[in-house]
Every structure is written in C-alpha cells, then in structure tokens.
Amino acid sequence: MKHLLSPLDLSVPEIDQLIAVAEDIEKNPKKYSHICDGKKLATCFYEPSTRTRLSFEAAMLNLGGSVLGFSSADSSSAAKGESVSDTARVIGCYADIIAMRHPKEGAPMVASLSSPVPIINAGDGGHQHPTQTLTDLLTIHAEKGRLSGLTIGLCGDLKFGRTVHSLITALARYENIRFFLISPDELRIPDFVREEVLEANHIPYKECDALDGALPKLDILYMTRVQKERFFNEEDYIRLKNHYILDSEKMKLAKEDMIVMHPLPRVNEISVDVDTDARAIYFKQAQYGVYIRMALIMKLLGLEA
Ligand code: CP
C-alpha cells in the first residue's frame, strides 16, 4: 500500500505518468467514468478548504465512485478528543482511500501508520501540500510544455506557504530550474527548504524583496497569499498582508509568455484586473486539480483505464 505524504513519495517517472494520465482524462473523460465503481473516498478535513476537498470529491465522482467525510474538526469526534490515528483506523473500515487535511504538521503521516487504506496528505499545517504540487506540475506541463529549463518566481508568504515548500521540493528534481524567492524578510523560505532542498541539490536561487526587479526574468510567477491562520500576532499579519499586489501595470514588466499561477484562495495579492490577462492561469490551474487527483486516486487504488 502506498500513501502520498510528500511530493518525494512519487518518483519523477511516476509523476510523469500521472501527468500523462491526467492529460488523457482531460481529452477522454468518458473512458474513466466507471474506473472507481463501488469505491469510496473519505475526505477528512480538520481545516477549511474549497478547492482541495471539492476537487477530490469531484475527482472520485467523475471516476464513478462515492464520497463521504467531514469538513471541520468540530463536526467529527476530534472535538471529543479522538486521535488522528484512531480516526484513520476507523475510517479505513468505511472507505477505500482517505484524503486528510490537518493544521498540525505531520498529522497525515501519523494517520498513515494506523490506516488500513492509502492516506493522501491534503495539506498539513505550514509543511507540505503534495496534491497542490501535482496540480501545479500538470499546469506547468500543459501551459509551458515542459518541467525543465524554467525560471520560477515564488512570491509572498514563503515561510508558511506549504504549496511553495512542496513545489520547490518537486521541481528541484528537474533539469535547469532556477528560483527567485520573493518575500519580505519575515516571510522568507524556511531553513528546511533552503538547506535540505535548494542547497543540497545545488539549485540556483536568489532571495529578494522586490517583485519588479525579478519580474522580467521569469517564465512563471507563482503568487501566494499571506497565511493569516498561521500568524501568532494579528498586527504582523495586517502589516504584511498587502506587501505585494500584482496588477495590470506590473504585468507590463513581465515576458509575453510568462504565466501567473496561484494555488488560491486569493485575497489582495492579485488585483482582479489581471484576471483577463491571457497569462493569468490560476482558475485553469484549479480545473487541472480535478484531472490530476483523478489520476492519483487511480494510481493509489491500483486501477488503470
Ligand atoms: N489551494 C488550496 O489548497 O485551496 P483550498 O484551501 O481551498 O483547498
């Protein structure tokens, strides 16, 4: 049995295969509409979500399966003190696969130790978000035609932004990748990413505060929101939340073929006037999330079209 807890749980050939299946799903959805007949996905979300939970549910329904689950800790027996370990053990009696989001880093990994079925990490605290990364890799592959030879600017809350940590970890395995890490000083990338991923793999990167200086050099700009829920002090959040606002004026500095990505939800960091720019692909990115999650569910359940 295989779980997905970190992007590194999948090899590069496995990721390439998932992308190929997801691209086929987009073109031939009917071919996949009964693959999961009789199978059940449980979504165990101890933290709010729109895209991840609903795209997982849409993915399983598109495959012919069924879904069950809870969308907040308060509506589960976690409110009575039940551990994630016991919860996973029990839900594994009701479902064939579990997608779990939790505010505590490592909680899906703990669940995987007692679960009789595959566990998918759907976001654990400020740590990792591997299925957002699969979504991002599919988006980049579909829009740029490659996952190598890219200059990627990651902008915003690089400290708490788990999608950023997972995306850097995944892209570090491809050729000729370089990063601009654009953030205020207080929201710089954590040491575990800088040392264990960037430095360890000799990936070229530059840390800076100014978006304008980096923008003309980028193939991809990956914007992120400041993660309000991870701040201890509201004053710090208020001071930092509007540090970056990408608008149509700033987009004039970017290459004609640069793409703008964002895991969403967006708050103020991308002005709505950018939405009509052909380079803004963040809503399409959310759609790609359904195809790649369909491919992932099939893989973890050992099913093929
Ligand atoms: N991108 C993402 O994880 O969105 P949700 O928090 O809405 O699931």
pLDDT confidence band for 164 (50 / 70 / 90)? very high
- The pairing of beta strand 259-261 with beta strand 177-182: unpaired
pLDDT confidence band for 1 (50 / 70 / 90)? confident
Residue of 51, 188, 228, 250 marked active site: 51
Cα 221 to ligand 1 centre (Å): 18
E-only strand ranges, the chain: 40-45, 66-70, 97-102, 119-124, 150-155, 177-182, 205-208, 220-223, 259-261
The answer, yes or no, to whether any atom of ligand 1 lies below 6 A from the CB of 99, is: no
What is the reported pTM? 0.96
Give residue-wise pLDDT tens across range 86-142. 999 999 999 999 999 999 999 999 999 999 999 999 999 989 999 999 999 999 999
Ligand 1: atom nearest CA of 48 is 6
Quick one: pLDDT at residue 236? 87
45 and 70 in contact (C-beta within 8 Å)? yes
Q: Is 239 a catalytic residue?
A: no
pLDDT(224) > 90: yes
Q: Is 266 a catalytic residue?
A: no
Helices 282-300, 12-27: inter-axial angle, 10-degree rounding: 110
CB within 8 Å of 16: residues ≥ 6 apart? none
CB within 8 Å of 194: residues ≥ 6 apart? none
Q: Using omega within 30 degrees of 0 as the cis cutoff, is the peptide bond preceding 265 cis?
A: yes
The answer, yes or no, to whether any atom of ligand 1 lies below 6 A from the CB of 43, is: no
The answer, yes or no, to whether any atom of ligand 1 lies below 6 A from the CB of 227, is: no
Cα 223 to ligand 1 centre (Å): 14
Question: Closest by alpha carbon to 248, among 222, 274, 272?
Answer: 274
